[in-house]
A and B are shown apart, each in its own frame.
Chain A
């Protein structure tokens, strides 16, 4: 069955998708809309899951490695850049690009954490 990291990564991608769609909708509507609330709520949950996964993954691999820290750190930098862009209002038109980048990050995380043999219960 699924390992803990795969479950967290899967949940992260789901919430990132919710956050991305609601973010796009929030841009269309005025600030303070329901979409903006959904975007924020899911966004913060996604960051929490991201941090949890980073800690678990670094601990799992038996020792902190420079490349792993660099990769997780780069993801975090993209997340914070995106938040800064939206909050400061600068380069606002690039916010959706950063949103897509976050989805891509979650796809990479999924590919990294997917458990081999995890779907064997489907017997396909």
Chain B
């Protein structure tokens, strides 16, 4: 009887040890699963999903800590929303998700929607022609690096109730409302982003204290960097020039008039006779 109990305990002990330390698997799309969503459903935490180039029409919902990478980058790895009212990629209630190298498009809501999820990494993605580009709600300590959020109907990158996120070297251009919008979000770092040609504000901080904005280029938006009800933010080495597109041609026309006068006087000197 004692021996049986001993073996039973040993069996459960071994089972616990093996299941708790399962090695992370690598899943390939479309080799192992035809769609990314299918691969995500069948993946375990800490698995990596490698996606080959192609055009995928689907909405991906992520609720476990996984890494999704494209093999050949965002130009040839495109996810188009199959349900327009849902985000193309939705990350909900999960930590440490990483997504790299995709173009996400065709959602009326958002390209990448991160809700209540922390410590994620989002590198080298393109979110174009969506409702908003990248949306973070109640999500902390995520890193968004080298992403592009262009030509969206509303915001390029939107953070609400989010703390300690890093937005670095992203390009946020030609969105029909604001470029980067922080609402009730604090202790975020916005570093070396390019925020251009957005229809309204380039960067708007609304009720968002204690953020760091450093080295951002904010050009040709209606307003450059706008702080509303936001105290104790640190702004260093940001460049803004909202109306350069009006100034430069005028300067050039003035130069043209001067060049004409110089040319005329030179020719008058040369051809006096």
Where the two chains meet, the residues of A that have a C-beta atom closer than 8 Å to any C-beta of B are 10, 13-18, 20-22, 34-35, 37-38, 42, 107, 110-111, 114, 116-120, 122-124
B17-25, B119-127, B161-169, B251-259 - interface stretch: B251-259
Could you say which of B196, B256, B271 contacts A116, with CB atoms under 8 Å apart?
B196
B240 at interface, CB cutoff 8 A: yes
A123 surroundings in chain B (CB, below 8 A): 239
Could you say which of B196, B217, B259 contacts A14, with CB atoms under 8 Å apart?
B259
Say how far B39's CB is from chain A's closest CB, in angstroms.
31
Say how far B170's CB is from chain A's closest CB, in angstroms.
14
Q: Which residue in chain A gives the minimum CB-CB distance to B248?
A: A114
B244 surroundings in chain A (CB, below 8 A): 114, 118-119
Could you say which of A13, A18, A111 contacts B263, with CB atoms under 8 Å apart?
A18
Asked if A110 meets B248 with Cβ closer than 8 Å, knowing A116-B194, A116-B220, the reply is yes
Say how far B49's CB is from chain A's closest CB, in angstroms.
30
Asked if A35 meets B264 with Cβ closer than 8 Å, knowing A107-B249, A110-B252, the reply is yes
B267 at interface, CB cutoff 8 A: yes
Question: In the bound complex, what is the Cα–Cα distance between A119 and B245 (angstroms)?
Answer: 11
Q: Which residue in chain A gives the minimum CB-CB distance to B244?
A: A119
Q: Which residue in chain B gives the minimum CB-CB distance to A6?
A: B248
A124 surroundings in chain B (CB, below 8 A): 239-241
B260 at interface, CB cutoff 8 A: yes
B3 at interface, CB cutoff 8 A: no
Question: In the bound complex, what is the Cα–Cα distance between A120 and B219 (angstroms)?
Answer: 9
Check if A18 sits within 8 Å of B249, measured CB to CB.
no
Check if A22 sits within 8 Å of B256, measured CB to CB.
no
Check if B217 sits within 8 Å of A117, measured CB to CB.
yes
Interface size on B, residues (CB 8 A): 26
B267 surroundings in chain A (CB, below 8 A): 34, 37-38
Check if B249 sits within 8 Å of A110, measured CB to CB.
yes
B268 at interface, CB cutoff 8 A: yes
Check if B240 sits within 8 Å of A114, measured CB to CB.
no
Say how far B248's CB is from chain A's closest CB, in angstroms.
6
Say how far B245's CB is from chain A's closest CB, in angstroms.
6
Asked if A14 meets B256 with Cβ closer than 8 Å, knowing A116-B196, A116-B197, the reply is yes
Segment 210-245 of B: residues with Cβ below 8 Å from A: 217, 219-220, 239-241, 244-245
B256 surroundings in chain A (CB, below 8 A): 13-18, 20-21
Question: In the bound complex, what is the Cα–Cα distance between A13 and B241 (angstroms)?
Answer: 21
Say how far A31's CB is from chain B's closest CB, in angstroms.
15
Check if B252 sits within 8 Å of A13, measured CB to CB.
yes
Cross-chain pairs A/B with CB under 8 angstroms, 17 sampled: A17-B252, A17-B255, A34-B264, A34-B268, A35-B264, A42-B263, A110-B252, A116-B194, A116-B196, A116-B217, A116-B219, A116-B220, A117-B219, A119-B219, A120-B219, A120-B239, A124-B240
How would residues 56 to 99 of chain B score, 1 for a CB under 8 Å from any chain A CB and 0 otherwise? 00000000000000000000000000000000000000000000
Say how far A53's CB is from chain B's closest CB, in angstroms.
15
Asked if A18 meets B260 with Cβ closer than 8 Å, knowing A38-B267, A117-B196, the reply is yes
Asked if A18 meets B220 with Cβ closer than 8 Å, knowing A10-B252, A35-B264, A124-B240, the reply is no
B249 surroundings in chain A (CB, below 8 A): 13, 107, 110-111
B173 surroundings in chain A (CB, below 8 A): 116
Asked if A120 meets B257 with Cβ closer than 8 Å, knowing A38-B264, A110-B249, A114-B248, the reply is no
Say how far B191's CB is from chain A's closest CB, in angstroms.
15
Say how far B149's CB is from chain A's closest CB, in angstroms.
15
Q: Which residue in chain A gives the minimum CB-CB distance to B263?
A: A38
A35 surroundings in chain B (CB, below 8 A): 264
